[in-house]
Structure 1
Amino acid sequence: MNRPEMKPKSMFRLNRNRLVLCVGLSAAALCSNANADGGPVPDLPIVPASTVTQDVPPPKQPTPRAEGAQRTATASRASANNALAGLNVSSDSAIMVEPGVTQIAAISRGHLNRLVTPFPTPEVMTSSLSTGSGDACGEICIKDNVVYVTTDSKKPVTLSLNEAGRQDAAIMMTLVPKDVPPRELQLELKNGSMGGLQFGSKKAESWEESQPYVDTLTHLFRQIALNEVPQGYTLHQAESGVLPVCRQPGLTFDFRHGQRMLGHHFDVAIGVAKNTSNGPVEVRETACGSQQVAAVASWPKNVLHPGDKTEVYVAVSRSMGGGKPTTQRPSLVR
């Protein structure tokens, strides 16, 4: 009796960590008789490589357009890296600036950044960012002496900062957007840069003139003692060219490492007095008196014991005549 013809079948059998491909009836029988404990497995027929590649579609090749877009993106990244190469980008929060010298600093890309300027009413010139109009802010927004900058640019942007209506002193800034949290930059004019600059604030002028002269000085010193900045005033480091002179036996005065607070009618120097004698000494306001001094006060102590320190405030009346120019003609004889 003839047995019906059976077509070969393919099957897989896993023996320990080996995958055995069984093809045909005889091979299937051999596979079924293999020992489960990893005994010897008879040799199997060779299977053509086309068995595992049959009906498998070929890999897709990138289109010329995709290749061009990839090259463009790579070139853009390389161009941005080249633009930043060689720049000494500052990551400091306090930056010493000087009129006419460009400073480079990092800001946050896509987030709000604060630039606290030394100008009471700053004015911004830029060709890289939008400034908006009226009360609507663009990428640049100005509030009192603070300039807010927000940009999604991947390239450095440039700013020129100056006091409104004054072109004799400007700060040049190059801002490098980076993927960092929002930043605040305190821009401080380098020592000696503000000696001849007389900037008056309209807000400070309004606050000073809204009350009697003596009351203005009293409230001015009170706010300084409370570690506050009066309305319209700006805080700076001490200027060596405009330090007050105080002399009193038993006391030393240090204004060089102090602060300077600028308003419209008043310029306040903030320093420290120290008792270097062997006994108590009372701080006398007349020790800092001069023709331009409007008022003097000390806080929190007026009587200092040996080694004690206290802050000293010296308010000087300012002349808003415009100050000396920053560019001068060199003399031919000196």
Structure 2
Amino acid sequence: MQAPFTTLSEFRETLAKAPVTDDTAVQAAQERNGQLTKPPGALGQLEDIAIWYAGWRGNPQPQINAPQVVIFAGNHGVCAQGVSAFPPEVTVQMVANFENGGAAINQLSKAFGAKMDVHALSLETPTADFTQAPAMTEAEVVTALRIGWEAVDPASDLLVTGEMGIGNTTSASAVAAAVLGGDAADWTGRGTGVDDAGLARKTEVVAKGLVLHATDDPLEALRCLGGRELAAMAGAIAAARHHRIPVILDGFICCAAAATLAKAADGALDHAIAGHQSAEGAHARLLAALDKKPLLQLGLRLGEGSGAALAIGVLKGAIACHSGMATFAEAGVSEG
């Protein structure tokens, strides 16, 4: 579906007009949950996420049949500052790996029955080095938001967004700090595995970007400090809300992109849950700021949407129990 915006201002208006959960479906799902053949609360968090999912799908007894995983790739000019343990060429190489089915995210998507799409965003033209200039013009960030929006299949019933981009933990750290507050050191971690000197350099780079691009506008922070793949993830997450498609958020970079939506419009992430807490140092802080409790905590730090894709299995299990279990009446079991 073509994106209904051509400027950042119009994107902000689109966020403000997004649909909300179906309270009737939520109530019916809660009533069904109370009648299933189990003690109250016995399935713990699975009960909560099944009811949440039912509300966004408008169906008290939903199914998950068409999950979609979308990976966005972008290159970052800030890599010129020596912020990554890997060269920018790896982004292009990993996109080829995704397209050839060889990455971890390909295996996880296949394992949980998800359609997987890959979008490389102008890899030959990295964003500007945000220590010198805004990372993107308004036209560039809007283009990336629109690519993300239009990448979402309206027929899907669950969305995972992932990313690939050497240098993008630096960009995500800067965005998180700008949007959520705090010092550069609060948000900057080792990413792909930089050493202590590399971490100090990254932190200094993030601090410099925050001074150069001081703003209270989360979408401007995304433009000035973000990357094309971060903006595309934000656009896709917003599109999913428009289509009433629930979202599983991935790790630090995905959540930093999502934070720009949360700060741009109240409740903009109500249709999203956190798939996991990654090993990137500031991810726990970011999840707390977004008030999202992760489904998994397995020490993952790969990106690619891998943690969120793994959590598809948890959500599928929750929905299978909620929609497939018999009620006490159906099973002829006494409620006691």
| Interval of TM-score (by shorter of Structure 1 and Structure 2) | under 0.3
TM-score, normalised to structure 2, is: 0.21
User: Which structure's residues are more often helix, by fraction?
Assistant: 2
Structure showing greater radius of gyration is 1
Normalized per residue, which structure has more strand? 1
